């Protein structure tokens, strides 16, 4: 049960210390805000208090509003903000007694807005301060768009809000966000400094700053037209392209608030725009991903006594291994790196150096924590807590590696593989005893491993609980979001995405659709960071081919065989790492260019009839993604993944599916036009190799029975699928009903 408390301590020197608490991060729930308002009002009226110091319990100020309340509360109460939050902020700001906020831990979102309502702020150096509401499709709604510009200036404030930038105490002191910094992060020192500052103002009331909402001295001589020109066009472009209105709303609230000549008027506008943002599809989707990403391992209870692995060996320092090693090193771990020979080892080390240098860390320092080897050296491997294998995607090669690892590592050491597809039980066959097989676990990183925030942890038949826990502990250390999944070819994430490449290659090879057209449809309409062909180039076409082989063995009825990959490989075009794949790359691999001159003859040789299918970009995008949603449903049916929200998180963090669409299944169900429409379109595709779609029918049933949250029928602000909702774009007999109720009826039909 959450315990929300507000306590007041009257000190002999006249300082009233108000401490609010809601473990673990003092989230400002509606209830806590009410309690705060009550206590602040009492203290302001109490003669014993000459000054007020406001501080959070649990070693932190506040991480902001309680986001878990958002989907329920927002929209239900139109006046939520003005009704229950304005009073306590106004009470602090208009108090005749000086109010000082003590900032430690985090003061984010509503937490920082609460601090901004105080007259003064004192912080510790490592505090995290920011207004990151835009990440959730919202804008600050407790006066932040008005007070922050009046405290630090319009441009710095807009930059902080638009980029959801978090700053520390030292930077906050420089820009004027805090008034004093205590030299060390000590709670006692912070309280003492805040009390001293409050009493200085009591002694000399001229030191009390005017209420921020009425202040203009820090607004500077900015030209409002310049501010508009700098921020609005991009914000409008984002709204038009993605349906996210928070960027434009934030700029308007700041600009209009400043122009109106008063923070109070600006705050009214902020409240209106906040409510509009909170009602937007994009905000619902972003909050869904935010909440879902915090409960990805609810089905697996982490063991508290497991320590984060300090010494990790990485076998294979190619694209993935070097990224994994760099990631561990950047988070303070030690790495033993094994490669096949000295040349490969040197190349791996220079890849790691490049990654480390790009992150502004010193490679000289980090170098001391890497030990390179080309042997399974017991002296080195005997000391590691965890091995992550990232060698070639080949069953026999991996079996050999794990046979050697089982012998050269200690019995406590966990053996993880970064295989993208291979069934772990196959890899484990060469590990001698059942007991030893308990050490084997999947630790599947996504490329680039040092950047992508997802870590898929795979539990094979014999994987021990301890093995999962050690990898969970690593995930925590290197700040990855883990999902724990079952074992099958491709596991949960690559398995659900394997149809994406299948369909893309099918479209290019059999229907003559140009790869660049497919990539553009996925990138520009859906907002994927890269289309399937760019992704194949990044992963490496050789790896794609191996992956294809694994899927062909495991799901033969759903695999489309072709020769395009082989032809590309024969021409030495293995993707970005060889300088050419479906695209060509500059020698430093940084610049990607289309390469029709080389690609078109290959495509022509694949579709001899030369017949080009004319599919619209929205049709292409749905043909690529609906089969992915279908496979995701199979993954859930087979209990490979625990819940659909885990797959949403995986699609966002592992494959870059836009968070503002809520993840793949959320998008398919809530935004793309409803499940009935999906099924109808899917049946209409008549993909010869695809077979039936049982999982999608289950999906339709669950949606029609209301077991998943659906958005109210309304004109969607997300553009991509508006275009094909009319019958004009029907594809081969699959006819879509432009009317939402009609689509609902289809869903009901399948549900009955």
Active centre residues (catalytic):
113, 133
Query: CB under 6 A: which stretch of 192-200, 335-343, 459-467, 730-738 binds ligand NAD?
Result: 335-343
* Contact code string over 95-124 relative to ligand NAD, x by CB under 6 A: ------------------------------
Largest CA distance in the chain: 92
Length of the chain in residues, anyone? 752
CB-wise, 404 or 711, nearer to ligand NAD?
404
Site track for ligand NAD across 439-458, x = CB under 6 A: ------x-x-----------
Structure-token pair, residue 23:
């473990």
**Closest CB to ligand NAD among 222 and 346?**
346
- Whether residue 24 has a cis bond before it, omega within 30° of 0: yes
**22, 418, 576, 718: which one binds ligand NAD (CB under 6 A):** 418
CB of 339 to ligand NAD, least distance (A): 5
Which residue is closest to ligand NAD by CB? Answer: 318
Binding to ligand NAD by CB under 6 A, coded x per residue (else -) over 459-498, reads ----------------------------------------
Under the binding rule (CB under 6 A), the answer on residue 419 touching ligand NAD is yes
CA–CA dist 670, 662 (Å, integer)? 9
What number of H helices and E strands is found in the chain? 33, 18
Angle at 736 between CA 735 and CA 738, to 5 degrees: 140
Q: Among positive and negative, which fits the CA dihedral 532, 537, 541, 542?
A: negative
For residue 516, the minimal CB distance to ligand NAD (Å) is: 21
Of 246, 230, 229, which is closest to residue 238 (Cα–Cα)?
246
C-alpha span between 149 and 165 (Å, rounded):
14
Q: How far is the CB of 318 from ligand NAD (least distance, A)?
A: 2
Binding-site size, ligand NAD (CB under 6 A): 25
DSSP conformation letters of 516-551: HHHHHIIIIII--SS-HHHHHHHH-HHHHHHHHHHH
Among 115, 120, 160, 315, binds ligand NAD (CB under 6 A): 315
User: Prior bond to 289 cis, omega within 30?
Assistant: no
Task: Give the SS3 label for residue 15.
Answer: strand
338 is a contact residue toward ligand NAD (CB under 6 A)? yes
Closer Cβ to ligand NAD, 88 or 446, answer by number:
446
- DSSP letter for each residue of 621-670: HHHHHHHHHHHHHHHHHTTSSS-HHHHHHHHHHHH---GGGTSHHHIIII
335: contact with ligand NAD by CB under 6 A: no
Choose the binding region for ligand NAD from 21-29, 197-205, 390-398, 463-471 (rule: CB under 6 A).
390-398
Give yes or no for residue 653 binding ligand NAD (CB under 6 A).
no
| DSSP3 helix / strand / coil % (the chain, rounded to 5) | 50, 10, 35
The values of phi and psi at residue 581, to 5°, are: -150, -120
- Which positions from 526 through 555 interact with ligand NAD, judged by CB under 6 A? 539-540, 543
Q: How far apart are CA 387 and CA 309, in angstroms?
A: 10
Smallest distance, Å, CB 395 to ligand NAD?
10
Residue 723 binding ligand NAD, by CB under 6 A: no
Among 243, 321, 531, 658, binds ligand NAD (CB under 6 A): 321
The nearer residue to ligand NAD, 143 or 490, going by C-beta atoms, is: 490
- Shortest distance, position 721 Cβ to ligand NAD, whole Å: 29
Return residues touching ligand NAD (CB under 6 A): 315-321, 338-340, 344, 390-393, 397, 401, 418-420, 445, 447, 539-540, 543
């Amino acid at each position: 049960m959450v315990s929300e408390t507000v306590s007041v301590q009257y000190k002999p020197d006249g300082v009233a210390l108000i401490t609010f608490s809601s473990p673990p991060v003092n989230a400002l729930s509606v209830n806590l805000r009410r309690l705060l308002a009550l206590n602040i009002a009492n203290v302001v009226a109490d003669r014993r208090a000459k000054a007020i110091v406001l501080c959070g319990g649990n070693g932190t100020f506040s991480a902001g509003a309680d986001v878990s309340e958002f989907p329920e509360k927002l929209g239900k109460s139109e006046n939520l903000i003005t009704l229950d939050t304005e009073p306590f902020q106004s009470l602090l700001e208009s108090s005749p007694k000086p109010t000082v906020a003590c900032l430690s831990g985090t003061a984010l979102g509503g937490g920082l807005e609460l601090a901004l309502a105080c007259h003064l702020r004192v912080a510790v150096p490592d505090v995290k301060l920011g207004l990151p509401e835009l990440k959730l499709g919202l804008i600050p709604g407790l006066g932040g768009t008005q007070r922050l510009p009046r405290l630090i200036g319009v441009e710095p404030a807009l930059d902080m809000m638009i980029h959801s930038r978090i700053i520390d105490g030292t930077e906050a002191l420089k820009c004027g966000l805090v008034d004093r910094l205590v030299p060390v992060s000590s709670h006692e020192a912070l309280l003492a400094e805040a009390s001293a500052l409050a009493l200085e103002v009591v002694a000399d009331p001229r030191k009390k700053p005017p209420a921020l909402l009425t202040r203009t001295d820090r607004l500077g001589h900015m030209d409002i037209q310049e501010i508009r020109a700098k921020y609005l066009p991009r914000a409008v472009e984002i709204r038009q392209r993605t349906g996210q209105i928070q960027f434009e709303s934030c700029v308007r609230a700041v600009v209009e608030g400043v122009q109106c000549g008063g923070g109070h008027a600006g705050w009214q506008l902020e409240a209106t725009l906040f409510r509009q943002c909170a009602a937007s599809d994009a905000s619902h989707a972003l909050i869904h991903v935010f909440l879902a990403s915090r409960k990805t391992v609810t089905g697996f209870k982490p063991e508290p006594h497991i320590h984060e692995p300090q010494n990790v060996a990485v076998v294979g320092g190619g694209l993935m291994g070097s990224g994994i090693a760099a990631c561990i090193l950047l988070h303070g771990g030690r790495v033993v790196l094994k490669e096949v020979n000295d040349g490969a080892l040197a190349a791996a080390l220079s890849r790691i150096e490049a990654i480390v240098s790009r992150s502004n860390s010193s490679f000289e320092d980090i170098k001391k924590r890497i030990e390179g080897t080309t042997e399974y050296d017991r002296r080195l491997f005997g000391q590691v807590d965890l091995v992550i294998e990232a060698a070639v995607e080949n069953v026999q090669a991996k079996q050999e590696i794990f046979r050697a690892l089982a012998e050269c590592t200690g019995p406590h050491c966990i053996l993880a593989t970064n295989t993208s597809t291979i069934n772990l039980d196959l890899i484990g066959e060469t590990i001698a005893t059942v007991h030893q097989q308990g050490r084997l676990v999947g630790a599947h990183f996504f490329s680039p491993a040092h950047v992508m925030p997802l870590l898929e942890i795979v539990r094979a038949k014999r994987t021990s609980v301890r093995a999962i826990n050690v990898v969970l502990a690593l995930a925590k250390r290197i700040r990855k979001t883990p999902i724990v999944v079952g074992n099958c070819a491709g596991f949960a994430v690559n398995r659900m995405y394997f149809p994406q490449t299948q369909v893309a290659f099918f479209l290019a090879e059999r229907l003559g659709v140009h790869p660049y057209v497919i990539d553009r449809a996925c990138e520009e309409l859906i907002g994927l960071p890269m289309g399937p062909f760019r992704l194949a180039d990044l992963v490496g076409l050789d790896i794609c081919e191996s992956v294809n082989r694994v899927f062909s063995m495991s799901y033969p009825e759903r695999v489309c065989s072709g020769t395009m990959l082989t032809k590309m490989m024969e021409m030495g075009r293995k993707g970005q790492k060889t300088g050419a794949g479906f695209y060509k790359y500059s020698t430093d691999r940084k610049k990607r260019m289309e390469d029709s001159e080389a690609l078109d003859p290959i495509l022509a040789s694949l579709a001899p009839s030369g017949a080009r299918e004319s599919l619209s970009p929205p049709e292409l995008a749905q043909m690529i993604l609906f089969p992915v949603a279908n496979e995701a449903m199979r993954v859930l049916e087979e209990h490979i993944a625990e819940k659909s929200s885990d797959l949403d998180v995986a699609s966002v963090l592992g494959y870059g599916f836009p968070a503002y669409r809520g993840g793949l299944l959320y998008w398919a169900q809530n935004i793309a036009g409803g499940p009935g429409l999906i099924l109808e379109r899917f049946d209409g595709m008549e993909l010869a190799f695809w077979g039936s779609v049982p999982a999608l029918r289950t999906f339709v049933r669950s949606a029609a029975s209301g077991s998943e949250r659906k958005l109210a029928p309304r004109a969607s602000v997300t553009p991509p699928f508006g275009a094909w909702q009319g019958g004009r774009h029907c594809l081969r007999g699959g006819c879509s009903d432009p009317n939402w109720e009609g689509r609902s009826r289809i869903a009901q039909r399948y549900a009955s």
